[in-house]
Chains A and B, each alone.
Chain A
Amino acid sequence: MSAPEHEATPPELTPQELSRRDFLKRAAGASAIALTGVGLAAALLDANGPPASDPVGAATSAKGLGDYSLPELRGKPGRMAIVRGVVPANSQAAQPDRKAMLERALAALGGLGAFIKPGDRVLLKVNAAFATSPLLGATTHPDLVAAVTSLCLAAGAASVALTDNPVHSPESCFALTGISEAAAKSGAKVILPGENLFVPVSVPPSGNIGGRLIRDWPTLAGPFKGVTKVIALSPVKDHRRAGASMTLKNFYGLLGGRRNVFHQDINGIIAELALLVRPTLCVLDGVTVMLTNGPTGGSLSDLKAMHVMAVTTDPVAADSFGMELLGRAVTEAPYIKLAETAGAGNADYKALNPQFLDLGA
């Protein structure tokens, strides 16, 4: 900023020597600037120009969200239990107790301890797509969330979290569906779909499915970090475009971005979702089933009380059972067969030899 300070220089130097010293200092400084330029250019040189698409996205793209099925069951027929509940006599409740149904079904499958080990970190994929009352059956019922959470914690799970990327505002969805409250009471953590939790993900192809639609697609991968078990909790609903919305369609809530472009190939995308994540367990809640005006419903007249719940390791089988609840053929939701072709499960739930249980008996 100013001429060299004279106080700092030893007095014996002549002005010429001073000038010479200054010159050398400056020459060194100038060389440093020039060399910094050269060094930066050499270190950061981009000889070929930028690539057509942003390489950052491709670099972080993972292969699906993971396989959380039990290793000992892989490649083998899934396990399934179907339970019919009853509304207890002398009770205020209009619906059967989901926790009792769940416990009965799990007991038939060897107890939740067969699936959740002490120390497991469990993620629940709930359907919280809409900010509507749980009475309308468009979302996962809070009683089911609470029941699964408390059973997991009882089985020794280190943590239970739940997530979804809903259609409506996430905070409203989790609050109005009662899921937030159920989670808070039972000890599950609600993970809201913050933008930084989405990561570009690709689904590796399997058979004719995969590798086509979910390609470097922003997917809700953040909540899966450190997770060891995944349980899908899905209602059974009519769906105008897809035929029905149950377990596999529930995974649509893991997609981010402008995901609605996928409605051009709804069966293709749901079949790829079956490959995106393989859950440990699927709970299909058919206590009330939305028969019409799905997937939002909006009226109690859209619902029918069926008082049934399925617990299975096979998401495809779960959906084939759901179609039966809806009174529809499996072929009316073509993605079920597609998912089976891709090796994601069995499109005929009866092939799993499900155990039929009846709490009323």
Chain B
Amino acid sequence: MRIPLNIVTARRISQIFFVLLTLWLCAVATLGATFWRLSGWQVNFILQLDPLTALGTLLATRTWYAQLLWAIPVIALTAFLGRVFCGFACPLGALNQAVGWLARRVTAKIPGARAAALRARLADNRHSPWQAAKYYVLAFLLASACFGSLQTGLLDPLPLLFRSLNMTVAPVVDAGFQALFLKPRHYASAWLLFTVFAAILGLNFLRPRFFCRYVCPLGALFGLLNRFAPWRMGKRDDAAHGECGNCTLCDTYCEGACSPSGALVASECLMCMNCLDACPKERMTFAGRASAGGEEHLPEPTRRGFLFAALTGALSAPLWTIGGLAETGKNPLLIRPPGSLDEARFLSRCLRCGQCMRVCPTNVIQPALTEAGLEGLWTPVLNYRLGTSGCQVQCVACGNVCPTAAIRPLTLDEKLGQGKFAAKGPVRLGTAFFDRSRCLPWAFERPCLVCQELCPVSPKAIYTRTIFEPIRFGQADFVAAQGSRLSLAGLPRPTVNLGSGDYYLRPAGLSAMASPEAGLRRINAAIWAEQGQTLTLDAAPDAKQGWKLSPGSVVEVVVRLQKPYVDAARCIGCGVCEHECPIAGLRGVRVSFENESRSGPGRMLI
């Protein structure tokens, strides 16, 4: 029995498979050992197939990272069979094709509508010299990579799709039923990420697979790689199939706009195979010879544009260096995930695929909008306010899902500086600094110690010094004492709970005495009334400690404060203190990149 399976159906099945696989790999990228969690899924599989990533990092780092070896079979396949990846595998290409198809579906049952739609479709799918634009994009990106600035991920469809799914679609879709995330995820500049994604999909209304034809640098690379493809689409011209009637049905359905009816532009053929199916005379074939209608390779002689694009790309990297953002002018808030390489090497590898941001259990890894400058657009940066905690000490997820090792895959031993990494010490992301004008104990004489309590480093990197400070409007006149109960007069209405255990009473004017704790009595309870105040102390005041129990003597309320300090030699910059600081806006303790491990010597402490 013959299976009624034609190549277009097989192509559609393959495309649906890759789209579903992409969605699945995005869905499972949450830490966990079950089947629907990260477990052992090769979440980077599709990213690893990408020859543009391999080539870009190759140019930028002069190495071919082992994780990117999957690009080799894709390159070989393209060299021999043409852009099969675009036609059969690329998930963004499949989405573009689907949108383009939906946009051109004929629904109205109006006479002549179908013919008009076909005419419009033929016009949309006519070859355009502007299809050369994507080769300029490619030239720009590769030239920039040559000088150490890897920007391919901005327009490379695979990182672009993963970035868009990870940071816009997944959080929005999941907000309804919370299968992926316990708490709604936040991603800075998600609006811009989605604008780009939506624009790419929307442009299919203008032309089918608009992005693939005019913009896609990966497609352009494939278009160059298939230069010598021995097998390709083409028209045959032999007696058995008769003359070509020039019905242009092949052109009408051509996704790549490579004009199969005439001189076929081989680099533009997306291997959608629609012409094969559309030709009423079965004249279109996939064979080892040139099309009978003639054949060209590239859209236009484009040397000048190509060179111009390459030159600007080559200039862009040195120009970014002039900005100094990777070195002396680095943004103090540019804190990279643990294991990140030094900024220059980081930017030669990061694809902005958003895998680290997707997998981060605390959502602190965010796409940079301005933090890393234009060159570092959408690269990962830690934002301790947006996440659900700081960078978890016992977590190495980001580095272990990074497809290019811009964030190195750390072991826990290396991250924590234990075992054979003991001499190197832990991986530091930065250092916490107290802002004494905003921290509650420092600025507002309010007791607070959240940062110190939650510092995960052992021994703690935040320590305290206890002091007793007179509170504002805390003086009163002594009236009478009854054991540990004191009656006072003239104490202004307190703005704090004096009986909370943090407040003490002492005779005024004692602070000059030798001991800072002289005469202190803890206030266990306080009753305030305009005409008189009653304080219950933890013990009766003692005349020997400076108390004058005569009416009219002045007492003062002091607060016991534990003022926090950072031990910079122990701080790892995990940001838990910053995240937990109760000052909701500009935090009272903030981490900046100083002393980060990745910057090498001279970072702050010696």
Interface string of B204-246 (1 = CB under 8 A from A): 0000000000000000000001011110000000000000000
Asked if A40 contacts B602 (CB within 8 A), the reply is no
Bound: A135/B408 CA distance, A:
55
Tell me the nearest residue of chain B to A212, going by C-beta: B606
Asked if B76 contacts A34 (CB within 8 A), the reply is yes
Asked if A32 contacts B602 (CB within 8 A), the reply is no
Tell me the nearest residue of chain B to A52, going by C-beta: B408
Contact of A44 among B62, B342, B601, B606 (CB under 8 A): B62
A29 in contact with B228 given A3-B295, A262-B606 (CB within 8 Å):
yes
A33 in contact with B290 given A2-B296, A50-B345 (CB within 8 Å):
no
Asked if A46 contacts B63 (CB within 8 A), the reply is yes
Bound: A246/B227 CA distance, A:
69
A184 at the interface (CB under 8 A from B): no
Asked if A257 contacts B602 (CB within 8 A), the reply is yes
Bound: A216/B298 CA distance, A:
50
A41 at the interface (CB under 8 A from B): yes
Contact of A264 among B342, B344, B597, B606 (CB under 8 A): B606
Asked if A34 contacts B80 (CB within 8 A), the reply is yes
B184 at the interface (CB under 8 A from A): no
Report the minimum CB–CB distance from A93 to chain B (whole Å).
Answer: 44
Asked if A30 contacts B63 (CB within 8 A), the reply is no
Report the minimum CB–CB distance from A55 to chain B (whole Å).
Answer: 10
Bound: A41/B68 CA distance, A:
9
Chain B hits for A213, CB < 8 A: 606
Asked if A1 contacts B298 (CB within 8 A), the reply is yes
Give the one of B80, B298, B405, B604 with max A CB within 10 A. B80
Asked if A30 contacts B69 (CB within 8 A), the reply is no
Chain B hits for A50, CB < 8 A: 61, 63, 65, 341, 345, 349, 405, 408
Asked if B75 contacts A37 (CB within 8 A), the reply is yes
Contact of B600 among A22, A49, A53 (CB under 8 A): A53
Give the one of A22, A31, A33, A47 with max B CB within 10 A. A33
Chain A hits for B294, CB < 8 A: 3
B605 at the interface (CB under 8 A from A): yes
B45 at the interface (CB under 8 A from A): no
Bound: A32/B80 CA distance, A:
10
Tell me the nearest residue of chain A to B69, going by C-beta: A41
Contact of B63 among A3, A44, A261 (CB under 8 A): A44
Report the minimum CB–CB distance from A354 to chain B (whole Å).
Answer: 35
Asked if B408 contacts A49 (CB within 8 A), the reply is yes
Tell me the nearest residue of chain A to B600, going by C-beta: A53
B459 at the interface (CB under 8 A from A): no
Asked if B606 contacts A30 (CB within 8 A), the reply is no
A45 at the interface (CB under 8 A from B): yes
A30 in contact with B58 given A1-B296, A45-B66, A217-B601 (CB within 8 Å):
no
Tell me the nearest residue of chain A to B346, going by C-beta: A50
Chain B hits for A25, CB < 8 A: 228
A44 in contact with B58 given A26-B229, A259-B602 (CB within 8 Å):
yes
Report the minimum CB–CB distance from B59 to chain A (whole Å).
Answer: 10
A57 at the interface (CB under 8 A from B): yes
Chain A hits for B446, CB < 8 A: none
B79 at the interface (CB under 8 A from A): yes
Asked if B63 contacts A45 (CB within 8 A), the reply is yes
Interface string of B283-309 (1 = CB under 8 A from A): 000001110001111100100000000
Report the minimum CB–CB distance from A29 to chain B (whole Å).
Answer: 3
Q: Which of B44-70 contact A (CB under 8 A)?
A: 51, 54, 58, 61-66, 69
Asked if A45 contacts B64 (CB within 8 A), the reply is yes
A261 in contact with B341 given A46-B63, A49-B409 (CB within 8 Å):
no
Bound: A44/B408 CA distance, A:
18
Asked if B58 contacts A40 (CB within 8 A), the reply is yes
Chain B hits for A4, CB < 8 A: 290
- List 9 tightest A-B contacts by C-beta distance, closest first: A29-B228, A46-B63, A34-B76, A30-B79, A33-B79, A258-B602, A26-B230, A49-B405, A37-B75
Binding site for B on A (CB under 8 A): 1-4, 19, 22-23, 25-34, 37-38, 40-41, 44-50, 52-54, 57, 213, 215-217, 257-259, 261-262, 264-265
Further pairs besides A1-B298, A37-B72, A48-B66: 16, Cβ < 8 Å = A3-B290, A29-B79, A34-B75, A37-B71, A40-B58, A41-B72, A46-B64, A46-B66, A49-B66, A50-B341, A52-B341, A52-B408, A54-B344, A257-B601, A261-B604, A264-B606
